Chains A and B, each alone.
Chain A
Amino acid sequence: PPAGSPPHSTTASLPQHGDRGFPLAAAAAAGRAPPRPRPAAAMQFMLLFSRQGKLRLQKWYVPLSDKEKKKITRELVQTVLARKPKMCSFLEWRDLKIVYKRYASLYFCCAIEDQDNELITLEIIHRYVELLDKYFGSVCELDIIFNFEKAYFILDEFLLGGEVQETSKKNVLKAIEQADLLQEKTETMYHSKSFIGFKKAY
C-alpha cells in the first residue's frame, strides 16, 4: 500500500481509569516529553545572582555533585542574563522549566519540573522576597550578602524539600523570630548586621 494516510483521529491516548494518572498525557502531541514517572521535587533548585553574574544564594533540592552544581549554575546564569527585559519569565532549559524574576539588582531563578505550575512559582519567588523584605526591612542585595544565613533560614521555613510548606507570612516570620530569640539566648550576641566571612554552600 502506498504511503498515503488512512483516516486519522486526533484523539491522543488518554490515561485509562486505574492509570497512574499522569496529567497532560496529551502534552505529547506538542512534542514535549511527558512527565517522567519518578517522583519529582516541585522545585529542583533556586539560585539568586546579581546582574554581574555573581551568585548570592543557592538552594538545591536534588542531590548533585559540586561539579555539576557549578556547571548548571554557570550555564543557567549565562542563559538568564542573556534574556531581554520584555521576554517572558519562563524558559525551557535542558529538561526543566526555569522561572525567573528580577528584583532590583538580583535575579531570582527557580527550576521546576515539567508538570509544575509556572505562575504559582513566580508567586513563590514573590512571597520569598516579601518575607525577606519584612524581616530585613526594605531588603536590598547587601542585606543578603551580609546575612545570607538568615536568608537561608527564612527560605527553609517557607519551602521544605522543594515544596511550599507554610504560606502564611505571619507564621513564617514568627518562626524566624523564635529561632532568633533562641539564638540570642545561646550566643548572647545581639543581632546585628555582622559580616560572616566564610560563605557556605547549602
Chain B
Amino acid sequence: MDSVKQSAALCLLRLYKASPDLVPMGEWTARVVHLLNDQHMGVVTAAVSLITCLCKKNPDDFKTCISLAVSRLSRIVSSASTDLQDYTYYFVPAPWLSVKLLRLLQCYPPPEDAAVKGRLVECLETVLNKAQEPPKSKKVQHSNAKNAILFETISLIIHYDSEPNLLVRACNQLGQFLQHRETNLRYLALESMCTLASSEFSHEAVKTHIDTVINALKTERDVSVRQRAADLLYAMCDRSNAKQIVSEMLRYLETADYAIREEIVLKVAILAEKYAVDYSWYVDTILNLIRIAGDYVSEEVWYRVLQIVTNRDDVQGYAAKTVFEALQAPACHENMVKVGGYILGEFGNLIAGDPRSSPPVQFSLLHSKFHLCSVATRALLLSTYIKFINLFPETKATIQAVLRAGSQLRNADVELQQRAVEYLTLSSVASTDVLATVLEEMPPFPERESSILAKLKRKKGPGAGSALDDGRRDPSSNDINGGVEPTPSTVSTPSPSADLLGLRAAPPPAAPPASAGAGNLLVDVFDGPAAQPSLGPTPEEAFLSELEPPAPESPMALLADPAPAADPGPEDIGPPIPEADELLNKFVCKNNGVLFENQLLQIGVKSEFRQNLGRMYLFYGNKTSVQFQNFSPTVVHPGDLQTQLAVQTKRVAAQVDGGAQVQQVLNIECLRDFLTPPLLSVRFRYGGAPQALTLKLPVTINKFFQPTEMAAQDFFQRWKQLSLPQQEAQKIFKANHPMDAEVTKAKLLGFGSALLDNVDPNPENFVGAGIIQTKALQVGCLLRLEPNAQAQMYRLTLRTSKEPVSRHLCELLAQQF
C-alpha cells in the first residue's frame, strides 16, 4: 500500500504540473499535509515533493505543513546513523528527504511561531556544526550527501535573511569550501556566495574572501568555476573594492572564453560606471575594454561612455587626450575609431593646443583609419570631419578635398554619399556663424536608465543586475539614443478615465490647429458609457516624448537606421482594392460592421458622429496564428482632402499576435464639404512577406448629415428656394434591392436624413430633410424618393444649396437602393 501511496502522490504532482486547474485540492489539502506524518519514509519523501509544488500556488492553504516539516527535519538531523536503517545513505540519515524538507521550507518566510522557529534554528545550527566534525566515511558519497544537506541549509538561511549569526556562519563555511580540494565544492561555494553577497548582513563577510576569489579567477582550470568566480566578484563589488575588482576582471577578460566575453564586458562597464569616483578612471576602463575585447563591446557600452563624457565637462579633455593616444596604436579596433572619432569631433579642440595633437595631426590620424572601417564608422567619421571644419578652419581645404573625392561623392553607399555631398556643400555655402550654430557642441544627454543594464538583463533574465539598480528606473526604459520606444497598450478594456488620458496625448504635427479644440469637444460630445478604450501609447510616454529636447545631431541619428518613415503619401500606397467601393457603399447608411476581411485580417469598424465631428474605431483582427510584424495602418488624404476633412489617428502596436485584435481610434472633423473618402492603407509583414492593402475609409459626407424635422409648408418653402437647376440633382434608377418600405425608411434614417410624414401627397413617397454640418459651412438638404413598385424603379431628387453636394449625395444614396 505504501508504494501505491508514494507513486500516487508523485503521479498527482505530475498531473498537477500539466493541468493545475484539474486538480481539486479543497478537501484533499489536509490529507496531503498529513502525509508528512506517515511512518513510511518513502511516502513522506513523495509527499514533500507534492506539497512543495502545491503550496507555491496556495501558500496559505498549506501553512500547517511548516511545523510538521520542521519537526520531521529535526528528528532526522538529530537521529543516530542506525535509526533510519535503510534510509541511511553512507552514514547520512535520509539525505534526499532532508533536502526536500529544506526546499519546502524555502517556500515560506521564517515561521512565526516561536517554538517552531526555535526548533528550526537549532536544527540548522546542528547541520552547520556537523559540517565541522570529522567525516564518518572516506567515501565521496558520504561527503556529497552531507554537503548536499549543508548547501540546502545555507540556501534556506539565505532565503530567510534574518539570522545574522547563521548568515555569518554560512559565509564562513562557504569560505572554507572555496579552498577545498574538490572542484565541485569550490564551484558550489562560489555559486552560493554570490547570493550571500547581496544580503546586507553578510556582504562584508563575503568581501573578506576577495583574495581567494581573485585567485580562483586566475588559477582555476575549469572554465565554469572561473565564471562563477567572475560572477561572485561582480556581486561583491562595492565602492571599496571596485577598482581592484574591475582591474582583475579586465585581466581575466584578456584570456576569457569567447562565449562569455560579452557578458563580462557588460559587467565591467556597469561596475566602472557605478563606482566611478574619478571619471577619468571610467574612461580608461572603457577604452581598455575596447582595446582588449573590442568585438564584444556592444553599442550600448560605447554609447554610454560618449554620453557620460558629453555630460561631464571635467573629463572631456582627458577623454580627448586618451582617445588620441589610443588611436595611435598600429592595430586599433573599429569601436575605438568610432569612439575616438566622435570624441575628437566634439572635444578635439581641447587638445589642439599641443603640437603633437594639432588639428592636422588629429585629422590625418583619423583619416588613416578611414578606409579600413565599415560603412557605419565611415559615416561617423564624415560627421567628425565637418565638425573639424567648424572647429579648425585651417583644416577646411584638406577636408573639403577629401569630401570632394570621387570615392565619397559617388560612393556606392547612399548614406556616405549623402553625407559627403551635404557636408561639402554645407562647408562651402554656410557662413562661419551658421556653421558654428549647426555644428555646435552636443548638449548634455538627459538622464535615463542605463541601457547597458537593460541589455544585461535581457541576456541573463529579469533578475540580473537588480542589486545594482538605484531604483532610477523610468517607467519607460528608453534606449539612450533612440526616441521613446512605444509600448502601446492596445488591449481594449474600456475604462472611463482612459478617454481623458488618451486625449491629453500630443496631437500629431500634421493636424490642423483646430484639432486640439476638437479633442476637447469630443470629451463633451462622447460622454458617458460609450466604451472608450485606452488609446495608443500610454500617457506618460507621450508626455515624456514632448518633454525631451530633440537632440539636434545625436549620434544615433547619424548612425542608425533612418527615422521611422513618415506616413506614406497617396502616391506611395497602392491603389484601393477592387472591392473598396463596394465596401464603402455598405457603410453609407450604417456605422458598424466588418469593413474588410480576407484570410489574414479582419477589419471591423464602429463609428459615431455628432454634428461635424466623428469618432471611428477600427478593429484589426489577426486571423492567423502567426504574429503580424511592422503593422501600420495609416490614413491617407488624396488630393486636397486634408483641407476638407481632418482625420487624426493614433499609432497602433507594430506587432499583432496571432488571434489578437488591436484597435485604432480615429478622430474626424469635417471642415467643409468633401467628395472623396480618405484612404486607409494597412501594411504589415506576415511570415516575412510584406502585405499591403488600401481601402476607402467609410467616411462620407452624409455622416455629418443632421436630421431636421419640419412641417410641410416649411419644407415646400425651402424646396422652392432651392429651385435653381444646379441645386438639384435627380436620378432615376432601377432598384437593386427588394423595395421594402420599412427597409427604405431605415436606410434613409441611417443616411442621416429626417423622415417627414404628411408632406408628400403620395403616401408611398419618402421625404427627408437635414443639414450637412461642416466647420466652415452648413448645407441644408432636402430629398424626395419616389418608388415605383411596378417598374421596380426609383426617382430620387435632392436639393441642396451646393451643386457638388447635391450630385454627390444623390450618387451615394442612389446606390443604397
Known pairs A3-B311, A8-B274, A11-B199; A23 contacts B159 (CB<8 A): yes
Asked whether, in the complex, the Cβ of A31 is within 8 Å of the Cβ of B465, the reply is yes
Q: Is the CB of A26 within 8 A of B461?
A: no
Give A95 Cβ to nearest chain B Cβ, in Å.
8
Q: Is B13 an interface residue (CB 8 A)?
A: yes
Q: How far is B84's CA from A169's CA once the two chains are assembled, in angstroms?
A: 13
A2 CB to nearest chain B CB (Å): 5
Known pairs A12-B466, A120-B145, A171-B3; A30 contacts B46 (CB<8 A) = no
Report the stretch among A48-56, A159-167, A194-202 that lies at the interface.
A159-167
Contact of B712 with A by CB under 8 A:
no
Within the complex, the shortest CB–CB distance from B624 to chain A, in Å, comes to 22
On whether the beta carbons of B311 and A166 are closer than 8 Å, the reply is no
Q: Give the CA-CA distance A12 to B235 in the complex, in Å.
A: 11
Of B224-232, B244-252, B347-355, B553-561, the one touching chain A: B224-232
Give chain B residues whose Cβ lies under 8 Å from the Cβ of A123.
89, 95-96, 141, 144-145, 148
Binary flags per residue of B85-104, CB closer than 8 Å to A gives 1, else 0? 01101000011110110010
- Is the pair B184, A31 in contact by a Cβ cutoff of 8 Å? no
For B159, what are the chain A residues with a Cβ–Cβ distance below 8 Å?
15, 21, 23-24
Task: Report the bound CA distance from A122 to B275 in whole Å.
Answer: 40
**Taking CB as reference atom, which chain A residue is nearest B313?**
A2
Q: Mark each residue of chain A from 83 to 95: 1 if its CB lies under 8 Å from any CB of chain B, else 0.
A: 0101111111001
A61 CB to nearest B CB, Å: 8
Task: Flag if B49 contacts A90 (CB, 8 Å).
Answer: no
Instruction: Verify if A10 is at the interface (C-beta below 8 Å from B).
Output: yes
Residue interface bits A109-139, CB-to-B below 8 A is 1, else 0: 0000000011110111011000000000000
Q: Does A188 contact B (CB under 8 A)?
A: no
Once the chains are docked, how many angstroms separate the CA of A161 from the CA of B311?
57
- Give residues 301-328 of B contacting A (CB, 8 Å): 307-308, 311-312
A14 within 8 A of B: yes
Known pairs A11-B199, A12-B466; A39 contacts B145 (CB<8 A): no
A167 and B42 form a contact (CB under 8 A): yes
Which residues from B are CB-within-8-Å of A11?
198-200, 467
Report B197-219 CB contacts with A as 1/0, cut-off 8 Å.
Answer: 11110010000000000000000
Contacts of B631 in A (CB 8 A): none
Is A168 interfacial (CB-CB < 8 Å)? yes
Q: Which of A63-117 contact B (CB under 8 A)?
A: 84, 86-92, 95, 117
Question: In the complex the two chains form, what is the Cα distance from A90 to B225 in whole Å?
Answer: 9
B116 within 8 A of A: no
Q: Are A160 and B11 in contact (CB under 8 A)?
A: yes
Contact A21 B184 (CB under 8 A): no
Tell whether A166 pairs with B109 under 8 Å between CB atoms, given A9-B200, A34-B461: no
Question: Chain B residues near A24 (CB, 8 Å)?
Answer: 155, 158-159, 195
Whether the pair B225, A1 counts as a contact (CB closer than 8 A) is no
Asked if residues B465 and A28 are in contact (CB atoms below 8 Å), the reply is: yes
Determine, out of B186-194, B426-434, B636-644, B676-684, the stretch whose residues face the partner at the interface: B186-194
Q: Are B232's CB and A1's CB within 8 A?
A: no
Contact B96 A27, beta carbon cutoff 8 Å? no
Q: Which of B103, B109, B187, B460 contacts A15 (CB 8 A)?
A: B109
Any chain A CB within 8 A of the CB of B454? no
Give min CB distance, A26 to chain B, whole Å: 4
Asked whether, in the complex, the Cβ of A86 is within 8 Å of the Cβ of B467, the reply is: no
Specify which chain B residues have a CB less than 8 angstroms from the CB of A33 in the assembled complex.
Answer: 460-464
The one of B94, B191, B195, B311 in contact with A167, judged by C-beta atoms closer than 8 angstroms, is B94
Residue A32, interface by CB 8 Å: yes
Given A10-B238, A14-B161, A28-B464, A3 and B222 contact (CB-CB distance below 8 Å)? no
**A3 to B103 Cα, complex, angstroms:** 42
Give per-residue flags for B148-181: 1 if the beta carbon is below 8 A from chain A beta carbons, else 0. Answer: 1001100110110100000000000000000000
At the interface, yes or no: B256 with Cβ under 8 Å from chain A? no
A20 at the interface (CB under 8 A from B): yes
B75 at the interface (CB under 8 A from A): no
**Interface pair A3/B108, CB less than 8 Å apart:** no
Contact between chains at A168 and B466 (CB < 8 Å): no
Tell me the complex Cα distance, A20–B108, Å. 8
**A5 touches which one: B191, B274, B466 (CB < 8 A)?**
B274
User: Out of A19, A32, A160, which one reaches B464, CB within 8 Å?
Assistant: A32
| Chain B hits for A4, CB < 8 A | 276
* Closest beta carbon of chain B to A19's beta carbon, Å: 8
CB-contact partner of A32 in B3, B16, B145, B231, under 8 A: B231
Are A118 and B199 neighbours in the complex by a CB distance under 8 Å?
no
The answer for the CA separation of A29 and B59 in the assembled complex, in Å, is: 26
Q: Which residue on A lies nearest to B238, using beta carbons?
A: A10
The answer to whether A117 touches B99, judged by C-beta atoms less than 8 angstroms apart, is yes
| Contact partners of B456 in chain A: CB under 8 A | 31
Measured between beta carbons, the chain A residues less than 8 angstroms from B108 are 21
Q: In the complex, what distance in Å separates the CA atom of A82 from the CA atom of B712? A: 98
State how many angstroms separate the Cβ of B99 from the closest Cβ of chain A: 5
Chain B residue nearest to A130 (CB atoms) is B141
A144 at the B interface (CB under 8 A):
no
Q: Is the CB of B224 within 8 A of A91?
A: yes
How many whole Å from B358's CB to the nearest CB in chain A? Answer: 30
Q: Which residues of B contact A126 (CB under 8 A)?
A: 141, 144
Q: Bound state CA distance, A175 and B144, in angstroms?
A: 27
What A residues does B144 contact at CB under 8 A?
119-120, 122-123, 126
User: B107 on the interface (CB 8 Å rule)?
Assistant: yes
Contact yes or no, A31 B86, CB < 8 A: no
Interchain nearest-CB distance for B282 vs A (Å):
9
**Bound-state Cα–Cα, A21 to B63, Å:** 13
Q: Which of B145, B184, B308 contacts A89 (CB 8 A)?
A: B184
Give Cα A28 to B158, complex, Å.
Answer: 13
Q: Which residues of A contact B463 (CB under 8 A)?
A: 25, 27-28, 32-34
Alpha-carbon separation in the docked complex, A31 to B198 (Å): 12
Q: Are B183 and A88 in touch, CB under 8 angstroms?
A: yes
Whole-angstrom distance between the Cβ of B177 and the nearest chain A Cβ = 11
Chain B CB count within 10 A is highest, among A15, A28, A41, for: A28
Give min CB distance, A57 to chain B, whole Å. Answer: 20
A23 touching B225 in the complex, CB below 8 Å, given contacts A3-B312, A168-B42: no
* A12 nearest in chain B by CB position: B198
Whether the Cβ atoms of A161 and B14 lie closer than 8 Å is yes
> Which residue of the partner chain, among A30, A32, A86, A164, contacts B222 with CB atoms under 8 Å?
A86
CB distance from B338 to the nearest CB of A (A): 20
Question: Are B6's CB and A30's CB within 8 A?
Answer: no
Nearest CB in chain B: distance from A10 CB, A: 5
CB contact between A21 and one of B59, B194, B263, B461 (< 8 Å): that residue: B59
* Residues of chain A within 8 A of B467, CB atoms compared: 10-12, 26, 28-29
Say whether B200 contacts A29, CB under 8 Å: no
Question: Which residue in chain A gives the minimum CB-CB distance to B192?
Answer: A24
A108 to B542, CA, bound (A): 56
Which residues of chain B have C-beta atoms less than 8 A from A84's C-beta? 221
A118 to B186, CA, bound (A): 13
Whether a CB of chain B sits under 8 angstroms from the CB of A17 is yes
State whether the Cβ of B280 lies closer than 8 Å to any Cβ in chain A.
no
B273 contacts the other chain (CB 8 A): yes
Q: Does A42 contact B (CB under 8 A)?
A: yes
Whether B56 sits at the interface, judged by CB under 8 Å, is yes
Whether A163 pairs with B468 at a CB distance below 8 angstroms is no
Most chain B CB neighbours (cut-off 10 Å) among A1, A26, A175: A26
* Cβ-neighbour of A34 out of B99, B191, B462 (below 8 A): B462
Please tell me if the beta carbons of A29 and B466 are within 8 angstroms of each other in the complex.
Answer: yes
27 contacts across the A-B interface (CB closer than 8 A): A2-B311, A4-B276, A8-B468, A10-B238, A14-B199, A15-B109, A21-B159, A23-B155, A23-B156, A26-B467, A28-B466, A31-B234, A31-B464, A32-B231, A39-B20, A41-B17, A89-B183, A117-B99, A117-B151, A119-B144, A161-B10, A162-B14, A164-B45, A164-B49, A165-B7, A166-B45, A171-B86
Q: A21-B108, A32-B461, A169-B86 are in contact. List 5 more A-B contacts (CB 8 A).
A: A4-B276, A21-B106, A31-B267, A86-B221, A90-B187
Q: 10 closest pairs, A vs B, by CB? A: A33-B461, A28-B463, A30-B194, A119-B148, A161-B14, A29-B467, A12-B198, A34-B463, A88-B183, A26-B198
